[in-house]
Amino acid sequence: MEIPSTSVGNSEQIVILDAGAQYAKVIDRRVREQAVHSIILPLDTPASQIIESGYKAIIISGGPESVNSNSSPKYDPLIFSTGLPILGICYGMQLLNKVHGGTVVQKSVREDGVFDVQVNNTSPLFTGLGEEESTLLTHGDSIDRIAEGFRCIGRSTSGVVAAIDSVEKNMFGVQFHPEVDLTINGWKIFDNFLFRIAHLRGDYTMDSRKEMALAAIRKQVGDASVLTLVSGGVDSTVCTALLREALPHDRIFALHVDSGFMRKNESKSVQTALENIGVELTVTNSWDTFRNGQAMIGEEMSETLGVTVDPEVKRKIIGDTFMNICDIEVVKFGLDPTTCFLAQGTLRPDLIESASHLVSGSGNADCIKTHHNDTQLVRALRSQGRIIEPLQDYHKDEVRKLGIDLGLPEFLVWRQPFPGPGLAIRILCANHPYLPDDAPVVAKELSSVVSSFSYENESHIKNIVTTLIPCRSVGVQGDARSYKSLCALSWKGIEGCPINWPLMLQVAKEIPKRVHEINRVIFVFGEALENDLFQTITPTHLEQSVIDTLRSADAIVNEILLKANLSQKLSQVPVILFPADFGVAGKRGIALRPFITRDFMTGLPAEPGKDVDLGILHEIVRRILNEVPGIARVSYDLTSKPPATTEWE
Ligand code: XMP
């Protein structure tokens, strides 16, 4: 399936052949970031098509299959004789090796996570890199015999072939993922491939694309009217600003749905900000509709949102309710639903994500996806060509540049992403405590991970307490979604020893690797916890008072971060309310999740003391405990993605 692209123009293009990877869209992004135009096509695209279309280089992505499996994706062997430079990533490297006569086998070790790889930086692919690079590996199969004519240019610490090249054939392969943030110098590898190896010009620039987007809007809309949904996030705001540059203003109708899950004063400030750039925004007050919203789950109607605890059901109800409200508002605007257009700020990764969802059947995309981009109204309009997505060729950072170009104020353009379902997915709901089977055994395993942890300063290890928390959150590993228990760390501060944050982060990384019932680790501020296991929670649902509690905590965090000028440095800071009572009946926990990522496919927790000032953190904790009633403890999410996700549900 082809992922469309609207702006071909005269720029040079490369092709990404998709072997079913989660990460194809991230490869696409990395390439486009370097001002090279890319297109994603299926792996079995005929070589003749690649030649005819004039693509200048080929990247073969990773994929979940084994190259040795009968069900491995088909490919045209002639792609290896086109003479074009080829970069194979993960599955792509193994295919390159196999096709040229090497072997690939399933070894006893699987490598999943961040590993150091020794690289030969005399290879043109690795020019400018160090001798050892930190990379993300996720593979079960490995190269056994390297194909003739190729050489090993990288090895992981466990001895696995991590990269190969044949300078003569102009073919290169890496076992790791250079496209994700966790591979620190991955961008440099793309830079080498695109410019040193494929000698591209890098001529895919913003200016040409903005003009193309404006022309495409005018052509598609003609003299019809457009409804635009404005959440206040950067994408929908830039989309609206672009429409205003393309069309007469009286044909643009802007709607903001206040679901009741917005941040404090959010809807009001979105309205004011949009008014300031000349957009008259209609705001609905829809909390009651959402609270009483239901959705069909399979054959059955769900409970109402106000009493639902399942994260996926919550998302489904919110998505459906959004669209029902839009249907009503279209009529109120006096628009003709059979002729009007709907504009959305869909970005290129969104589009690829939903398309690759169809192609590869990956179940992962839908758990992070907002549903209000894809409902009945949207689908009906799409099939009639009445959805406008002028940002469909843009990535987040490019949208920000475009926003500045269009004269939007910096604070709007630099807003952190906020999920469509809002605070609703930052409140973990539960009727009962959740503990894994054999919880006492799991709790013992947690403490033994810490006591056996090797660290130069053993006395610091003795300060760490582990506690199994009776709540679970969503995580992601490989292609799979997980829904697992939370582990808390706390600190005894023996003889006044200050918290060792780097050590905390290392321990947090180790725990989910060793204890498979855990996908997220938090640090709990304050006195060390006394139990290795809690058994009780405060039942939690999406009720007004609960939402207000999170809204107040979230407002404190944002006020302080804004003052400290940290909003740009931290990619996103979700604040979460969860039902753990920490032994104090009726109370709940708050978690802070300062998170650093560019692609949101992978990412790291911000390190306290390095990325976030400790004084600021302590001020946040103190103010939440003093000003927000009903909070037992404030905590800090120490988990990277994977194994956790950015949001907790
Ligand atoms: P996760 O939690 O999967 O999130 O690591 C990755 C990014 O997506 C955002 N997110 C959403 N955005 N609607 C949205 O518009 C949603 O339903 C949704 N769920 C997650 C999340 O905040 C992060 O930026």
Q: For 574-589, what is each residue's pLDDT tens digit?
A: 999 999 999 999 999 9
- Distance from Cα 369 to the centre of ligand 1, integer Å: 7
Which residues does residue 589 pair with via DSSP β-bridges, in sequence order?
578, 633
pLDDT digits (tens, 9 = 90+) for 556-576: 999 999 999 998 889 999 999
Q: Residue 222: what pLDDT?
A: 94
Average model confidence (pLDDT) across the chain? 90
Pocket test for ligand 1, best of 236, 344, 596, 646 (most atoms within 8 A of CB): 646
CA 165 to chain centre: 31
DSSP conformational letter for 644: B
Residue linked to tokens 């457009």: 226
Confidence band of 397 (pLDDT split at 50, 70, 90) = confident
Active site residue 177: yes
Confidence band of 8 (pLDDT split at 50, 70, 90) = very low
Architecture of the domain delimited by 222-418 = 3-Layer(aba) Sandwich (3.40)
Q: Whose CA is nearest to atom 21 of ligand 1?
A: 419
Confidence band of 532 (pLDDT split at 50, 70, 90) = very high
Active site residue 152: no
- For residue 645 and ligand 1, the question of a CB distance below 6 A is answered with yes
Q: Which of 12, 37, 111, 177 is catalytic?
A: 177
Rounded average pLDDT over 161-182: 95
CA 529 to chain centre: 32
Confidence band of 23 (pLDDT split at 50, 70, 90) = confident
Confidence band of 143 (pLDDT split at 50, 70, 90) = very high
- Distance from Cα 648 to the centre of ligand 1, integer Å: 10
Over 50: is that where the pLDDT of 1 sits?
A: no
Confidence band of 152 (pLDDT split at 50, 70, 90) = very high
DSSP conformational letter for 427: B
Q: Which of 179, 329, 445, 647 is catalytic?
A: 179
Phi, psi of 243 (to 5 degrees): -60, -40
Over 80: is that where the pLDDT of 58 sits?
A: yes
Q: Which ligand 1 atom is the nearest neighbour of the CA of 603?
A: 5
- For residue 643 and ligand 1, the question of a CB distance below 6 A is answered with no
Domains 222-418 and 439-637 share a fold: no
Instruction: Name which of 624, 612, 603 is nearest 525 in CA terms.
Output: 624
- Distance from Cα 420 to the centre of ligand 1, integer Å: 8
- For residue 482 and ligand 1, the question of a CB distance below 6 A is answered with no
Rounded average pLDDT over 615-626: 98
Rounded average pLDDT over 231-260: 94
- For residue 416 and ligand 1, the question of a CB distance below 6 A is answered with no
Q: Whose CA is nearest to atom 20 of ligand 1?
A: 368
Architecture of the domain delimited by 13-197 = 3-Layer(aba) Sandwich (3.40)
- For residue 646 and ligand 1, the question of a CB distance below 6 A is answered with yes
- For residue 368 and ligand 1, the question of a CB distance below 6 A is answered with yes
Confidence band of 478 (pLDDT split at 50, 70, 90) = low
Q: Residue 602: what pLDDT?
A: 81
Q: Whose CA is nearest to atom 4 of ligand 1?
A: 646
Residue 534 corresponds to which amino acid?
F
Confidence band of 385 (pLDDT split at 50, 70, 90) = confident
Phi, psi of 608 (to 5 degrees): -60, 140
Q: Which of 142-156, 222-236, 325-339, 467-481 has the highest mean pLDDT?
A: 142-156
Over 70: is that where the pLDDT of 538 sits?
A: yes
- Distance from Cα 261 to the centre of ligand 1, integer Å: 15
Rounded average pLDDT over 311-322: 90
- Residue 446 vs residue 276, higher pLDDT: 446
Pocket test for ligand 1, best of 313, 397, 647 (most atoms within 8 A of CB): 647
Q: Which ligand 1 atom is the nearest neighbour of the CA of 571?
A: 24
What dihedral do alpha carbons 2, 5, 9, 13 form, nearest 10°?
Answer: -50
Over 80: is that where the pLDDT of 631 sits?
A: yes
10 Å CB burial of residue 345 (0-12, 13-18, 19+) is buried
Q: Which two tokens stand for residue 29?
A: 């992004």
pLDDT digits (tens, 9 = 90+) for 273-306: 889 888 999 999 999 999 999 999 889 999 999 9
Rounded average pLDDT over 33-42: 91
Which residues does residue 228 pair with via DSSP β-bridges, in sequence order?
254, 343
- Coil/strand/helix, residue 105: strand
Confidence band of 392 (pLDDT split at 50, 70, 90) = confident
Q: Which ligand 1 atom is the nearest neighbour of the CA of 648?
A: 2
Domain residue ranges in the chain: 13-197, 222-418, 439-637
- Distance from Cα 365 to the centre of ligand 1, integer Å: 10
CB 48 within 8 A of CB 91: no
Q: Which two tokens stand for residue 430?
A: 């539960």
Over 60: is that where the pLDDT of 367 sits?
A: no
**CATH, domain range 439-637:** 3.30.300.10
CB-facing half-sphere around the CA of 637: CA atoms within 13 A: 33
What is the end-to-end Cα distance of the chain in Å, rounded?
30
